[in-house]
Amino acid sequence: MRRRVEDHPELCHLVEIVMDLGRRPLARFPSGDFFLSDRPFSAQDLHHATSQVGNFSADNRAGISRTLHRISAIRNRKGAIIGLTCRVGRAVSGSANLLHDLVKDGGSLLLIGPPGVGKTTIIREIARMLADDYKRRVMIVDTSNEIGGDGDIPHAGIGSARRLQVPNSDMQHKVLIEAVENHMPQVIVIDEIGTKLEAMAASTIAQRGIQLVATAHGVTIENLIMNPSLEMLVGGVQCTLAVCRTMDGQQTTCAKCDEEASRRGVQKTVLERKGPSTFTCGAEIISKTELQVHHSLEATVDALLAGRSPNFEVRKIGPKGSTKDMLPEQKDSLNNLESCMEDAIVADDHLARNDKKISEFAGKGVERSHQVQLDFHLYVYGV
């Protein structure tokens, strides 16, 4: 198996190796799957493989000491291991260059994206960048040793950042509070916030003025808004009676809300953000080379709850380096501006032609009761 995978032309892009009992082992590459053996994997092969890695924790994950690789086990109903997923971990220098301005500003950053797009790789590089380049006290709360690697000595990919291991995933929220109270960090890096207790702990840390860098389960920010366990990360969602408001914006009670909503033709209630967001900004990772940056997470949530398209910035890594695309609404504004400028020019020409025609008409001896002057020009530059 090792020889087959070493001879593969895409070895440097290997994603993971899958070994299931009774099936042929295969390696997964971006281009597709590649079988590593023609012989099905046996129980003796599984036993040999598991003996070469560390102990499996309660979340069925293990690692190899001083490496970033993750070994995940599949168990049967009796608890015996019948399959392994060996994810390749890499420390990629420069993977967080697209986010260096957000990290440097000191705001809390939330990374969202589907599995396999490189969230852990990016926050590992962010931790190294903050610790080595910006000389801040960085503490990593490592849930399954994916950021700092397996073993007691962390991987060199995190630089001078320190690492707290989590003995059990159910205790991650307690380890978060412990990191703040015992080690005086300026930055805390968290991987995979997935429960309400962890979201509450992250919110508490943010209120203490500590910079947070974290990843969360979800593909887009809308997934977090609709997730009752994680909605606190983006400020929470509450239902407000839309038709029971006075002119000054104060909330009042109304026994005829249904009748009033029907009369106005609007919804009786609307969704609004409950409070401040735990994170200042967010990034949706589309692929390993493209992400969408939301500079104000609160503004994005407000726009989504109101049914509008949020402002975001598309950043890409291409052959010529990183690029930044304009926000969608800015593009629309620019198009409107160009359109309005063209309309203004056309209107100006039209007024000038009319003024010329009136002058010619008056010069033919026609009596005029008053002098017509078109000296009012309106130019609209955009809203």
228-242, 301-315, 334-348 — most confident range: 301-315
Over 90: is that where the pLDDT of 328 sits? no
pLDDT, tens digit, 9 for 90 and up, residues 329-348: 454 544 554 444 444 444 44
pLDDT, tens digit, 9 for 90 and up, residues 78-96: 999 999 999 999 888 888 9
Instruction: Identify whether the C-beta of residue 346 lies closer than 8 Å to the C-beta of residue 354.
Output: no
- Number of other CB atoms surrounding residue 361 within 10 Å: 12
Identify the band that residue 217 occupies on the pLDDT scale cut at 50, 70 and 90. Answer: confident
Helix/strand/coil percentages in the chain, nearest 5: 35, 25, 40
Which H or E run includes 292? strand 290-294
Pairwise CA distance, residues 352 & 81, whole Å: 85
Identify the band that residue 29 occupies on the pLDDT scale cut at 50, 70 and 90. Answer: very high
Concatenating the DSSP letter of every residue in 248-268 gives TS-B---TTHHHHHHHHTS-S
Which H or E run includes 279? none
Terminal alpha carbon distance of the chain: 63
Lowest mean per-residue pLDDT among 124-133, 191-200, 313-322, 332-341: 332-341
Which pLDDT does position 350 carry in this prediction? 47
Which H or E run includes 61? strand 61-63
Pairwise CA distance, residues 308 & 328, whole Å: 12
Pairwise CA distance, residues 33 & 18, whole Å: 10
The closest alpha carbon to 140, from 107, 102, 186, 106, belongs to 186
What one-character DSSP code corresponds to residue 176? Answer: H
Q: How many CA atoms lie within 13 A of 61 on its CB side?
A: 16
Which pLDDT does position 318 carry in this prediction? 75
Q: How far is CA 298 from CA 193, 195, 197, 206, 364, in A?
A: 19, 21, 21, 15, 67
Identify the band that residue 169 occupies on the pLDDT scale cut at 50, 70 and 90. Answer: confident
pLDDT, tens digit, 9 for 90 and up, residues 31-81: 999 999 999 999 999 999 999 998 898 889 999 988 999 999 999 999 999
Angle at CA 13, nearest 5°, toward 10 and 121?
175
Which pLDDT does position 241 carry in this prediction? 58
Q: Angle at which helices 196-207 and 172-183 pack, to 10 degrees? A: 20
Q: Give pTM, 2 decimals.
A: 0.75
Pairwise CA distance, residues 71 & 58, whole Å: 13
Q: How far is CA 367 from the centre of its chain?
A: 73
Q: Which two tokens stand for residue 261?
A: 């909503």
pLDDT, tens digit, 9 for 90 and up, residues 173-183: 999 999 999 99
